[in-house]
């Protein structure tokens, strides 16, 4: 007489059903993708904080010389374009793209606020 089959406990190794082999290359590829997105998000938000600071400085400058406000806003626009280019470089893409115009949006808004 044979013994009844006992259910296999989940925490024990089953030699008839080994664990699947991990694909380290795929895991590293996914990790690299996440690291690139995090790095580009940090770089762009940090540089855009600088852009916003320059625009606020242009708005609240006391008794400016002619063109000082415009100069600060132009510098902010340059940094905005640099921020978008840095994001593209981090992702390994060409930095010269029409998306660079997105970096000019805060500066355009700043010009509207200064000369309203």
Q: pLDDT band at residue 101, thresholds of 50, 70 and 90?
A: very high
In this predicted structure, what is the pLDDT of residue 80? 96
Please report the pLDDT score of residue 8 as a whole number: 65
- The whole-model pTM stands at 0.75
Kindly report, residue by residue over 83-98, the tens digit of the pLDDT: 999 999 999 999 999 9
Cβ atoms of 88 and 95 within 8 Å: the answer is yes
Instruction: Kindly report, residue by residue over 29-77, the tens digit of the pLDDT.
Output: 888 999 999 999 999 999 999 999 999 999 998 877 878 999 999 999 9
Under a CB-based contact definition with an 8 Å cutoff, are residues 69 and 114 in contact? yes
CB-count burial class (<10 Å; 0-12, 13-18, 19+) for 80:
buried
**What is the pLDDT at residue 31?**
87
Q: Which two tokens stand for residue 108?
A: 């355009």
């Amino acid at each position: 007489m044979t013994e009844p089959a006992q259910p296999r406990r989940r925490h024990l190794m089953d030699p008839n059903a080994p664990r699947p082999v991990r694909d380290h290359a795929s895991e590293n590829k996914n990790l690299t993708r996440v690291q690139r997105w995090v790095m580009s998000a940090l770089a762009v938000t940090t540089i855009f904080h600088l852009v916003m600071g320059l625009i606020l400085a242009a708005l609240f400058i006391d008794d400016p010389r002619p063109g000082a406000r415009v100069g600060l806003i132009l510098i902010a626009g340059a940094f905005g374009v640099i921020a978008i280019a840095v994001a593209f470089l981090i992702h390994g893409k060409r930095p010269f793209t029409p998306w660079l115009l997105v970096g000019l949006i805060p500066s355009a808004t700043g010009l509207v606020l200064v000369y309203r």
